[in-house]
Amino acid sequence: MTPPPEPSKPHLDLRLDLERRSRLGMVEAIWGEHKSAAQIAAALEGLHQAGQVGLVTRVVHSKAEAVLTGLEARGHDPTTWCYHPDGRCICSAPLPQSDPERAAVAIVAGGSSDLGVASEASLALACHGIASDLVLDVGVAGLHRLLGKLDCLRRAPLLIACAGMEGALPTVLAGLLPQPVIGVPVSVGYGVSAGGQAALQGMLASCAPGLTVVNIDNGYGAAMAALRILGTSAMGLSGADPGS
């Protein structure tokens, strides 16, 4: 009997924007959600060969294992990359040193369900040599927790505020502190808050002046906005280079 008919081969190609680093001061991040383990492994290999930091977002645990095992099977040192389960990212390892003299970006979140988005932002900053402090569980339903952290938050050059449900945290923060505040709506909730729409609307509609917003769950985008604000584009990223 003849074998069953063979489907044709899938297309595995991925053109990396390696110029983004010189143009915008940012590494090319790979959005991993709709890519196969093979595609992600190929992208990490390409970035590694170009001497650039690798950052892949939205990778679930099982896919990350397949990526890392696959890279080892192709002869790479298994310690070249590391999977960070809280932020669901694969990053080059070790992450670049951040400047101990610089104040760290504050990443604030209302509840423990916002941890994933906050961690993605933290990792994306770390890939560019920027330190950050995570301040979790300071939701506005228990305001004392946030007010107790105000002095510490006042020292950060800017704040990234992640919140699901009604998304009021960035509004309260931007009313209390003068720094840039970047709101990140989080897709945690149910009913009207399912998918993060209520949080997004709330942040855009905010009565606090000068709050800016990124897409729902876009921790990476908030980090890149922070990078633009911190003016690190001119600093070069040599410290962040895993190939050196």
Contact between 25 and a second copy per CB under 8 A: yes
**How many residues bind to a second copy according to rule CB under 8 A?**
113
Q: How far is the CB of 154 from a second copy (least distance, A)?
A: 11
Measure the CA–CA gap between 47 and 52, rounded to whole angstroms: 5
Q: Which of residues 34-63 bind a second copy (CB under 8 A)?
A: 34-35, 39, 58, 61
Task: Figure out which of the listed residues 185, 237, 240, 242 binds a second copy, where binding follows CB under 8 A.
Answer: 185
Helices H / strands E in the chain, number of each: 9, 9
Between 34 and 100, whose beta carbon lies closer to a second copy?
A: 34
CA distances from 99 to 62, 70, 103, 107 (A): 34, 34, 9, 17
Q: Burial-class residue 123 by CB neighbours within 10 Å (0-12, 13-18, 19+).
A: buried
* Contact with a second copy (CB under 8 A) among 121, 200, 237, 240: 200
Q: Which of 133, 195, 239, 241 binds a second copy (CB under 8 A)?
A: 195
Q: How many CB atoms lie within 10 A of CB 6?
A: 6
Instruction: Choose, by CB under 8 A, the member of 52, 98, 122, 187 that binds a second copy.
Output: 187
b vs e for 232-243, b when ≥16 Cβ sit within 10 Å of the residue's Cβ? Answer: bbeeebeebebe
Under the criterion CB under 8 A, does residue 174 sit at the interface with a second copy?
Answer: yes
- With CB under 8 A as the contact rule, the residue among 45, 149, 208, 241 that binds a second copy is 208
For 180, the token pair is 């840039």
| Minimum gap (Å) between residue 145 Cβ and a second copy | 7
For residue 206, give Cα distances in angstroms to 86, 130, 145: 29, 28, 21
CB 229, CB 180: distance < 8 Å:
yes
Nearest distance from C-beta of residue 191 to a second copy, angstroms: 3
Write out the binding residues for a second copy, residues 105-164 only, by CB under 8 A: 110-113, 115, 119, 136-137, 139-145
